[in-house]
Structure 1
């Protein structure tokens, strides 16, 4: 108990001493996040795909889904971008996953104006999502842990699922009987559109920003676990020598998040039907 009180006092002292630093008009920070997404391949591709083929696809997906992002932020704005990679694009079948991938894209958020703007590519077409920041009903648990040199506290929330999900890219049932059976046996959790979010934030960096769409906690969010994706901060730079302008992306067809999700779903269903047609053609 004594150690706990001492730790709290140390944090409060740090916040008092450093408050002037974060209050500076030209304050800026950079946080680097390593992201990983796990994929359940058990139902991918239907019953006609071999386990060896699933393994090959899983390896390609792994390289596509393990990325590094940089969050450049000040007191009220943030720009979240994927770190440039020197990896050469793959040809052939590997290109399909690049076309399917709708993640990434420069993302801007402003916690004062509640503006959310993100550039996304879908099947070679560029979109500009312009919407309001999604607010989450965070529950502060009081649980703490150390990430790097920062003391972090746990918060939980529930958010609706949006956007593209690889788990939905499955070969449809062959007939209505199969479809009815799948609806009956599908786990209740999979039918729900809510995702549990666990975040760890540090009051030592008193900005209510974080990676991807996450924000709204009394400190920078350093780790997020949501559904099958984890984002973990690996490096923080406060007031870098070369500061950048935090500007929202401007190019692309303007849509709301709901409109983009609808377009993504329609495109996914088109591709799924295309794969089903190819599969049937191969069984003649």
Structure 2
């Protein structure tokens, strides 16, 4: 009996070691996220005119057509909206949905440099807005749930657009569900620095959920955005404030 017990312990240890070795050999991956409106913020629960509610209801039909992709290796990632020929970016509701999901921007992260670059256009000019991953102050929460076949754990962070929370500013709380079994510290947009890949991200309005997860033992090349004027978030906010005042 003792011999059998020892044998089972050895088998369990070997299985665990093999699993950890397999995870550590992963070098890159790709995730596609579906999006939908957060049901907690349904049309009935939001104040506004009848026209506003009708417009929001129509946007709920646009969101499922939008797909976002996260590509990553051990050190870098890039997140962007997938091109969709069915979506006319000039049509008002489609344009509004793209703006609401920040679909016009690309987000690049370099973990070693603790750097986030948001590539975006503003009044016809291209910018690379930079800020630090240290701005993310995650709170880990002792809750878990299954997404697909993966066990995920909950974390929360307060954000003001693409940047850290400042005193007196209105903020959104983002909830992330990350998977420690997928050993990459990335997720949608600038959200990073959790002990596992983010498979679901939500705020009060939108939920992003991984629908396709591809992991590879092959290395890949993440293209760093280079088009645009490199500025800080504070400098970009100054440009926006000046443009608003001039209007």
Residue 133 of structure 1 and its aligned partner are, at CA, apart by 2.1
Distance 1:68 1:136, change over 3 A: same
User: 2: distance between equivalents of 1:98 and 1:145?
Assistant: 28
Most deviating of 220-229 and 257-266 = 257-266
Most deviating of 80-89 and 55-64 = 55-64
- The answer to whether the aligner puts 1:219 opposite 2:217 as a matched pair is no
Instruction: Find 1:247's aligned residue among 199, 206, 223.
Output: 223
- The answer to whether the aligner puts 1:141 opposite 2:141 as a matched pair is yes
Per the normalisation by structure 1, the TM-score is 0.65
Aligned length: 225
User: 2: distance between equivalents of 1:235 and 1:217?
Assistant: 20
Render the CA deviation track for 1:237-267: whole Å, top value 9, x for unaligned. Answer: 11188x7520211101222223334444665
Aligned counterpart, 1:58 = 56
User: 1: distance between equivalents of 2:19 and 2:184?
Assistant: 13
Residue 120 of structure 1 and its aligned partner are, at CA, apart by 0.9
Aligned Cα root-mean-square deviation (Å): 3.6
User: 2: distance between equivalents of 1:122 and 1:222?
Assistant: 30
- The answer to whether the aligner puts 1:42 opposite 2:40 as a matched pair is no
Question: Greater strand share, 1 or 2?
Answer: 2
Aligned counterpart, 1:155 = 155
Distance 1:150 1:93, change over 3 A: closer
Q: Tell me, what secondary structure is at the counterpart of 1:70?
A: strand
User: 2: distance between equivalents of 1:78 and 1:22?
Assistant: 18
Counterparts of residues 183-222 of structure 1 (less than 5 Å): 192-222=169-199
Per the normalisation by structure 2, the TM-score is 0.73
Gaps of 5+ in 1: 1-11, 44-49, 164-190, 274-284
Conserved? CA contact 1:99–1:122, under 8 Å:
no
Distance 1:134 1:195, change over 3 A: farther
Distance 1:232 1:98, change over 3 A: closer
User: 1: distance between equivalents of 2:153 and 2:185?
Assistant: 13
